[in-house]
Amino acid sequence: MGSASAGSVRRARGDDRRGGRPTSRGRVSRPVRILAALLVASPVVVAPTLPLPANALPANTFPANARTAPALAQRAADDEGRLLFKFRDPRIAESSGMAMSPTRKGILYTHNDSGDGPRFFAVGMDGRTRATFTISNAEARDWEAMAATVDPKTGRGVLWFGDTGDNNRVWPDISVYKVMEPRTMRDATVQATRYRFRYEDGKHDAEGLMVHPRTGRLYIVSKEFSGSVYAAPAKLRTDRVNVLRRVGPAPLMATDAAYAPDGSSFVIRTYFSASVYRAPGELLAHLTMPPLDQAESITYTRDGTAVLVGSEGVSSPVYRVQLPQQARPHATPSASSAARTAKPTASRAAAREHRQPDDGGVAVPMGLLWVAVAVGAIGVIGVIAYRTGR
Q: Express each pLDDT in 157-171 by its tens digit.
A: 999 999 999 999 999
Per-residue confidence (pLDDT) for residue 57, from 0 to 100 = 33
Domain ranges of the chain: 82-359
Q: What is the DSSP letter of 48?
A: G
Torsions phi, psi for 216 (to 5 deg) = 80, 5
Share above pLDDT 70 across residues of the chain, in percent, rounded to a whole number: 64
299-333 burial code (b ≥16 CB/10 A, e <16): bbbbebbbbbbbbbbeebbbbbbbbeeebbbeebb
Query: Is the model's pTM score more than 0.75?
Result: no
> Average pLDDT in the 61-88 region?
58
Per-residue confidence (pLDDT) for residue 50, from 0 to 100 = 32
pLDDT band at 186 (very low <50, low <70, confident <90, very high): very high
More confident residue, 4 or 330: 330
Report CA torsion sign: 62, 64, 65, 70.
positive
Cα torsion through 237, 241, 243, 249, rounded to 10: 100
Residue pLDDT, tens place only, 284-313: 999 999 988 888 899 999 999 999 999 999
| Residue 85 pLDDT exceeds 90 | yes
Q: Which of these ranges, 8-22, 83-97, 283-297, has the smallest mean pLDDT?
A: 8-22
CATH superfamily of 82-359: TolB, C-terminal domain (2.120.10.30)
> Average pLDDT in the 95-107 region?
96
| Mean pLDDT, the chain, whole residue set | 76
Angle at which helices 366-389 and 30-46 cross, to 10°: 180
More confident residue, 213 or 21: 213
More confident residue, 20 or 312: 312
